[in-house]
Amino acid sequence: MSNPSLLILAGDGIGPEVMAEVRRIIDWYGEKRDMPFDVSEGLVGGCSYDAHGTPLTDETMARAQEVDAVLLGAVGGPQYDDLDFSVKPERGLLRLRKEMDLYANLRPAQCFDALADFSSLKRDVVAGLDIMIVRELTSGIYFGEPRGIIQEGNERVGINTQRYTESEIERVARSAFELARRRGNKVCSMEKANVMESGVLWREVVQRIGDTEYPDVELSHMYADAGAMQLCRWPKQFDVIVTDNLFGDLLSDAAAMLTGSLGMLPSASLGAPMDNGRPKALYEPVHGSAPDIAGQGKANPIACVLSFAMALRYSFDKGAEADRLEQAVEKVLADGLRTADLLGEEGATPVSTSGMGDAILAALEASL
């Protein structure tokens, strides 16, 4: 039986630095846990444009379709701002999502106790927070037609179309319900059914899927603007939130900041099952390429490390090993080690990007 396969696309800015620490952890699992991975590497984003004139080559795209999972760092940088829209670094990431048909974006918002005071909310509101936002990723207003900027009389008009089919809603709803069964068994679906027909359809379809296929999962509905307010008021009321592309973009970023640092948060984008039964999958940290600190050893690798933990759980059915890695991260933070983005508390021990990697590896060793 062949080893599970991973394609690493480190990307731009701090991407290569944080991915280097993840690569050390991948190697550790191969050596110490008898879990070898077949790892290949490629280019995406600005570095791919620099080398090939495109943010993602056809060869790299084909490789992404073949492997069990893709692990991505970050893309972009100010040096690419003036490029034509069609070759901007972000187009490489969007092509991966679209051609792999990664329709379910999983964005956890988890607050480690050691970091509860970094949140802008009170400690008791966020300590122990562990929610999952499931965002539909390949349809909705970001992809709907017609779109564009047209001339209408004496002024220009910007047009974007919110569009969802029943089948698109059904498949992301099933992803949310399946996740809930592995967590707290609660789903809250968010839309704007009070003012949008697409929201009416969304609510009807999610309710039908819940009633007929997942009657054991508690389902509730909430308007997305009310959901944003409730995330700030008492986020621990939620377990799994499922929502569309636009609202998911907004709500997941809001939930991310509840935890105190964007540099701490992973994500997964999942598609339909492949022949081996595993979903097509891309894992990436939520943070950007942070070009202002690239190459300085200041980047926090934890979000990328936790993205690999998500890959262990959702692509490789290694939930216990994902727990091991998450617990190693939690121990390091409890011990007071902090990269530059997390400094500011008394008694914290500043560490570099590689220093944080060293500490996580030491905690993994101690877990054996």
Cite the annotated binding site for Mg(2+) by residue number: 225, 249, 253
Write down the catalytic residue from 27, 253, 323, 358: 253
The CA distance from 258 to 279, in Å, is 29
The single-letter code of the amino acid at 65 is Q
164 is catalytic: no
Element (H, E) at 367: none
117 is catalytic: no
Annotated binding-site positions for NAD(+): 77-90, 288-300
The CA distance from 349 to 343, in Å, is 8
Question: Which residue has tokens 């009389």?
Answer: 153
68 is catalytic: no
Annotated binding-site positions for substrate: 97, 107, 135, 225
Closest CA to 74 of 137, 6, 14: 14
- Max Cα separation, the chain? 71
Strand, coil or helix: what is 191? strand
Write down the catalytic residue from 113, 130, 225, 323: 225
Write down the catalytic residue from 142, 186, 236, 358: 142
135, with CB counted inside 10 A (0-12, 13-18, 19+), is buried
The CA distance from 228 to 162, in Å, is 20
142 is catalytic: yes
Write down the catalytic residue from 249, 283, 331, 341: 249
Question: Which residue has tokens 């609660």?
Answer: 186
Helices (H), the chain: 15-32, 46-52, 58-66, 89-99, 123-126, 166-181, 197-213, 224-233, 245-258, 302-314, 319-334, 353-366
Q: Which two tokens stand for residue 61?
A: 């795209």
Annotated binding-site positions: 77-90, 97, 107, 135, 225, 249, 253, 288-300
225 is catalytic: yes
| Catalytic residue list | 142, 192, 225, 249, 253
